Amino acid sequence: MKSANNVNGGGGSGCGSGGDEVSDFINQHIYSTTQLKMDLSGSFSIILGLLAPILQEPFRQILKRIPGTMDWKIERTNRKLSGRLDEIVKKRMEEKNRTSKNFLSLILNARESRTVSENVFSPDYISAVTYEHLLAGSATTSFTLSSIVYLVAGHPGVEKKLLYENDGFGPHDLTPTAQDLHQSFPYLDQVTKEAMRFYTVSPLVARETSNEVEIGGYLLPKVEVPLEAW
């Protein structure tokens, strides 16, 4: 989980590792994803939402105000995460010379350029987008990596083939590029996809179209659309 956060943090805000505020943020996020479960062991409002979705939000609004409930813990944790991320964004905004090419720096540079209005990239918007970019994929990535290690450990033949493919790539000090990972490791790609099929971390993904749009000949109305991950 920490490794996944470091990767996302490095590309998202240039703060993958190092820095007290970043370490606190990562530790808080690890707690939220390992202890505050979004499943049948989670809060009452989440469980109720699986049975009667229309009742989830009203009950969440009530339960988040009652100390000790899981909804109250989730609300408090989300506020802490948002507050710490606001501090990170504020610190980056105060930096005058941003040479890094991470996601947050690019947004802040665009906000300060003449071609983009500051009203488009408001501080709240930047914090929200950075929050999503920093955390998106951290839990799913760590879950997928854990699943791969678990499955490969039970199949020595698969492990042998993976090591053979990895060792045959080139010198040990040669770092593969994104293109190398896509073209030179076909067996690793197969193992990863099979592990994700075997242990699907998120079978459905919901997206909401802001306007009616046509993609590949399919017309998507302005509604929330559930998509199958596979």
Domain spans of the chain, in order of start: 2-136, 152-198, 203-230
The pLDDT tens digits for 148-193 are 999 999 999 999 999 999 999 988 889 999 899 889 999 999 999 9
H-type alpha helices, the chain: 2-12, 20-35, 44-51, 53-63, 70-94, 103-112, 123-135, 138-153, 156-167, 178-183, 186-198
Q: Tokens at residue 90, please?
A: 């504020």
What is the pTM for the complete model shown? 0.59
The pLDDT tens digits for 30-87 are 666 665 555 555 678 878 877 787 888 899 899 999 998 888 988 888 888 888 888 8
**CA neighbor of 14 nearest in space, from 86, 87, 102:** 102
C-alpha atoms less than 13 angstroms from C-alpha of 27 in its C-beta half-sphere: 7
Question: Which residue type sits at 61?
Answer: Q
DSSP state at residue 214: E
Percent of the chain with pLDDT over 70: 70
Mean pLDDT for the chain overall:
78
- Rounded to 5 degrees, φ, ψ at 116 are -125, 130
pLDDT band at 135 (very low <50, low <70, confident <90, very high): low
The pLDDT tens digits for 195-228 are 988 988 776 666 777 788 888 888 888 876 666 6
Res. 138: pLDDT tops 90: no
Mean pLDDT in residue range 4-18: 54
Distances (CA, A) of 113 to 118, 120, 204: 9, 12, 38
Are the C-beta atoms of residues 169 and 185 closer than 8 Å to each other?
yes
Give the model's pLDDT for residue 17.
46
Give the model's pLDDT for residue 190.
95
Are the C-beta atoms of residues 220 and 209 closer than 8 Å to each other?
yes
